[in-house]
Chain A
Amino acid sequence: MKNRLFENISAGSFAIILHVALFALIFIGMDFQSTTQFAAQPKVDIVHATAMDEADVLAEMARQQELEDEKRQQEQDRQDEIDKKLEQTEQELEDKKQEIVEQQKQAELEQQQRELEAEQKQQEIAELEQQRKVEDEKRQQVLEEENKQRLQDEERKQKIAEDLKIAEEKKLLAEADAKAAQQKKRDAEEAARKAEEEETLRLAKIAEEKKKAEAKAEHDRIEKEKRIAKEKADAAAAKLKAEQDARELQMQESLATEAREQEATRVEGVVNKYVSIIRQRVKRYWIKPTSAEQGLQCTLQVSLFPGGDVKQVKVVKSSGNALFDHSAETAVYKAGPLPVPTDPKAAAKFKQFSFNFKPE
């Protein structure tokens, strides 16, 4: 800190010197300029009113102009010189300034460097301190650990001792228990034996009673079953009888129906058979007239004598062709006597029936 302060003071004084110098320079410059201006001014402004010819005037004016120009040029050159010097001075000043700034900068950098180093040092110290602290803690920890271990060991030892002691006690207790148990067992066995005997006796007694009861129940049951069976049998017999009666009745009915149906079927069969025979026979005897055109049809009603002889043939529906009708009639007569069934039921159907005659 002291170093920095010192460096600041030296830099400050240097700056002051520099500024003084600079002011001095500026002052010198200014002074020179104003002097020149004052000296030239009266020469230009003073007019000499003398009668002269124009050429002289003009020459004079030209000479004056030249002088003036020369003076202006000199002044210009001097000004330029000054400017140049000033510029140089400024440049030098600037350089100096730059140098100072850089020196300051350098100083700052050095200062910073130093501060940084100091900081680092402090940091290192802190780190070391930290390290040491950690190690201390570790050591402490190890110590504590060892301590703890030792305590634990002691506890364990103590516990083992206690366990041994407890085991010993338990063992003693167990032995006692065993003894007691044995006694108990013996007692129990004795009791059991006694109980068994008693139980056996009791069971025997119960069994006997049960047997008696069962026997009675069985007897009752059998009696009951017998009774039920008898009742059932009676009912069944009654039912059977009823069913049989009903079935018989039904059978009789169905037999009757069947018989009727059979009879009807039989009669139908017989009728069909004879229809077929009669058809064949009439067809064989029917000689169609050649004039019988398709579409002709006549219906004849025929009545027969019981033996099948043709009693009567009647044209109930004419074909419109007399010869055709006649041929049909003749066919029926010629086919007579028609074969008729002997069965009265079937024969009944042939007492009177019809023929339809068609040529095709």
Chain B
Amino acid sequence: MTKQWLKIAASLAVLLPWQAQAELVIDIIGGTEAALPIAIVPFGNEGPTAQIDISEIITNDLANSGRFDPLPKRDLISDPHEKAEINFKDWRLLRSEGLLVGKVSTEDGELHKVQFQLFDVYKSQQLAGMRYQVPAGGLRRLAHQISDQVYEALTGEVGVFSTRLAFVTEVKGADGNKRYALQVSDADGANPRTVLQSKQPILSPSWAPDGERLSYVSFENGKTEVFVQEMRSGRRNSVAAFKGINSAPSWSPDGTKLALTLSKSGNPEIYILELASGKLSRVTHNSQAIDTEAVWMPNGKEILFTSDRGGRPQIYKVSVDGGRAQRVTFEGSYNSSADISPDGRTLTMVHGFKGKFYIAKQDLQTGTLQVLTESGRDESPSFAPNGRVILYATEQRGKALLAAVSVDGDNHRRFGESGTDVREPAWSPLRK
């Protein structure tokens, strides 16, 4: 009797591990952080061929972001434009994370109907899709908007392809005189429009949070003067023309105030100007040091600025109500020209090292500093509104140009080398 029980127990003991192992579990730890492969099929055209190749713009947007790896056109096994034309089984073999198809149709060449669909080929599911009707002039912008939708669908983050860049160009005219222009372009650097032209230097453009106004410093009147200009109307007015320096404007997050550097009291100090009332309040009171390059923290309660009060330029933080400033940067003997990420967690600045200047970022919680660029002639960093990319000015073969680096430092990109010197970039906010 006992023996029988033992036998049964033994056989159970033998069986148990098999049963326990019945469900195999495989741990996948790590994975890669590679760019997402995506198949972008050239959009179909009905009617007169549009001047703008939407799928080309999208492909470039996604590729330039560093986050996507669009498949080469020659690898595309077919050219479907809508779901019904897709053999998902075939597309699975390409192992892309998504398949983008779409078409543009126009009857008169002016009004365009545009549609796109993004698919998960493995589940044969649509991830995103839209239909639009836009004039010919809106096709480029629409392409950027579709890029944003694809980007967001596959990365979970906000795309910044339909935002704009402001910057200052400097050209030498036929008469030998320099001409300066404040320009605004698409986020890919294409489609630049001149906002202001001057024979005198223009500096420090800053976008209002609504993306409809710019402030900047102009020397057009023989001295530094701060202006605010409306983008649509082009109307502008001088907001700060005090004695001495009037510079480095920065919009408050609510768009009602500007932080400025003024030396009307004899020494460069940070002030806050209430735009509606023109009321001015002084934030810093350090007559021994230069305090400048203010930038608002996203919470609207604090201001970051550059000061040499410690002997060398470093970034400090101070309450908008004034009071005692706290030093923020400690690594290296030169840190200036701060910008803050939209989430307020990451600081970017010009980091000087052995007489050269690089773009660096600093985690405000840990204090960890990471140098992101390599040229040594980099300046004026500006965060993209999704915080993933930093735009900055650099130099190449004696020419000033714009460049961008992903916030992880992995993806670098330069903007069109037009032959003109381009400086003082500012990335716009997201379009509302």
Tell me the A residues contacting B by CB distance below 8 Å. Answer: 264, 271, 275, 278-279, 282-291, 310, 313, 321-323, 326-331, 333-334, 336, 349-350, 352-360
Contacts and interface: CB of A to CB of B under 8 A. Distances in A.
Given A354-B25, A359-B31, A360-B30, A333 B156 contact: no
A310 B124 CA distance: 14
Interface string B265-291: 000000000000000000000000000
B28 A279 contact: yes
Given A323-B156, A330-B97, A334-B95, A286 B27 contact: no
B35 to A, nearest CB: 8
B24 A354 contact: yes
Contact of A288 (B24, B31, B92): B31
A285 B95 CA distance: 9
Nearest to B31: A286
B237 interface: no
Contacts of B23: 352-354
A287 B95 CA distance: 12
Nearest to B122: A333
11 contacts: A275-B26, A287-B36, A290-B157, A327-B31, A330-B120, A333-B122, A333-B123, A350-B24, A354-B24, A357-B31, A358-B30
B405 to A, nearest CB: 15
B155 interface: yes
A93 B247 CA distance: 175
B396 interface: no
Nearest to A276: B26
Interface string B8-35: 0000000000100111111111111111
Given A283-B29, A287-B31, 12 more contacts: A275-B24, A282-B26, A282-B28, A284-B32, A288-B31, A290-B33, A290-B388, A291-B156, A323-B155, A334-B97, A349-B21, A358-B28
Contacts of A350: 24
A283 B33 contact: no
Given A329-B122, A330-B120, A334-B122, A278 B29 contact: no
A118 to B, nearest CB: 133
B171 to A, nearest CB: 39
Nearest to A302: B26
Contact of A271 (B24, B28, B31, B157): B24
Interface residues of B, number: 30
B25 A353 contact: yes
Given A279-B26, A349-B24, A353-B26, A287 B155 contact: no
Given A330-B97, A333-B92, A287 B26 contact: no
B28 A357 contact: yes
Interface in B152-192: 154-157
A310 B33 CA distance: 24
Interface string B110-151: 000000000010110000000000000000000000000000
Contacts of A349: 21-22, 24
B29 A358 contact: yes
Residue of B26, B28, B155, B388 contacting most chain A CB atoms (<10 Å): B28
Contacts of B388: 290
A309 B424 CA distance: 54
Contacts of A282: 26, 28
B216 to A, nearest CB: 33
Interface in B26-71: 26-36, 67
Nearest to A260: B14
Contacts of B34: 287
Contacts of B21: 349
Contact of A331 (B18, B28, B154): B28
B270 to A, nearest CB: 35
Contacts of B154: 323
A295 to B, nearest CB: 13
Nearest to A357: B28
B33 A287 contact: yes
A279 B27 contact: yes
A81 to B, nearest CB: 156
Given A287-B36, A333-B92, A334-B122, A278 B26 contact: yes
A328 B28 contact: yes
Nearest to A271: B24
Residue of B24, B32, B35, B67 contacting most chain A CB atoms (<10 Å): B24
Contacts of B29: 283, 358-360
A278 B35 CA distance: 22
Contacts of B32: 283-284, 286-288
Contacts of A331: 28, 31
B33 A288 contact: yes
Given A289-B156, A333-B122, A354 B97 contact: no
Contact of B26 (A323, A330, A356, A359): A356
Contact of A287 (B97, B156, B408): B97
Contacts of B22: 349
A312 to B, nearest CB: 10
A333 to B, nearest CB: 4
A289 B151 CA distance: 12
Contacts of B95: 285, 334
A285 B122 CA distance: 14
Contacts of A322: 156
A301 to B, nearest CB: 9
Contact of A356 (B27, B122, B408): B27
Contacts of A356: 25-28
Nearest to B29: A358
> Closest 7 A-B residue pairs measured CB to CB?
A333-B122, A286-B31, A353-B24, A323-B156, A288-B31, A334-B95, A354-B25
Nearest to A322: B156
B120 A289 contact: no
B122 A283 contact: no
A284 B31 CA distance: 6
Nearest to B94: A334
Interface in B205-238: none
Nearest to B34: A287
A359 B25 contact: no
B36 to A, nearest CB: 6
Contacts of A327: 31
B339 to A, nearest CB: 20
A132 B22 CA distance: 143
B195 to A, nearest CB: 34
Nearest to A281: B28
Residue of B22, B29, B36 contacting most chain A CB atoms (<10 Å): B29
Contacts of B156: 289, 291, 321-323
A291 B95 CA distance: 22
Nearest to A279: B26
A329 B31 CA distance: 13
A330 B28 contact: no
Contacts of A284: 32
Given A283-B31, A359-B30, A290 B155 contact: yes
A333 B26 CA distance: 15
Interface string B245-263: 0000000000000000000
B20 to A, nearest CB: 12
Interface in B69-127: 92, 95, 97, 120, 122-123
